[in-house]
Amino acid sequence: MARVLIVYGTSYGQAQKIAGRIGERARFRGHQVTLLNAQGIRGKLSFDDYDAVIVGGSVLYGHFQRPLERFVARHRTALERLPGTAFFSVSLAAAHSTPAAAAEVKKVLERFVHRTGWHPRTVTTFAGALVYTRYGPILRRVLRFISKRAGGDTDITRDFEYTDWAAVEAWADAVLPGPVRRIAAAAPLPV
């Protein structure tokens, strides 16, 4: 059994849902999981208690959440020393397979590495969600315009989830330590 820390940054909840699903996979494999929102972490955190650390966040306006960036920059040295570190990015650009979308995803990830100084061992990107019903009027219009230009969903009366949950679980299984080991069903992790 490994001790796994999952730290996430989220703006509208999709990165939190993905972090929770990764945590459920870790628990399914028999690991002990600590799930933390970067926004609520104050001061230093000891990584001596963990065998693996997974960090992830959502992208809005081309940037990750500031608390997530501050957390990673503050703990960069400890993260670099750990053999089991991974990073996941959640964005709408990842929902598209165009060269322009791939270039945007790459640019955002490079900016994150530059701003934080952290080079995670494993990086992946998951498609996020358009949660029109949770956005304010200005953001709703901006994202509808962007989605329309990309040929995406524009019905602002409902939400659209693009996350491939099977891909999330497969990635979690690939980056989590040790062999897959089924344990008794447990309640979902609180996020």
How does pLDDT run across 34-72, given as a tens digit for each residue? 999 999 998 778 898 899 999 999 998 889 999 999 999
Q: Which CATH superfamily is domain 3-128+164-175 in?
A: Flavodoxin domain (3.40.50.360)
Q: CA dist 125 to 15, 46, 102, 113, Å? A: 11, 27, 10, 14
- Bridge partner residues of 34 (DSSP): 5
3-state SS, residue 101: helix
Question: pLDDT of 145-158, one tens digit each?
Answer: 988 988 889 999 99
3-state SS, residue 102: helix
Instruction: Judge contact between 1 and 49, C-beta under 8 A.
Output: no
- Which residues of the chain does CATH 3.40.50.360 include? 3-128+164-175
pTM: 0.89
| Angle between helical axes of 165-175 and 14-28 (0-180°, round to 10) | 50
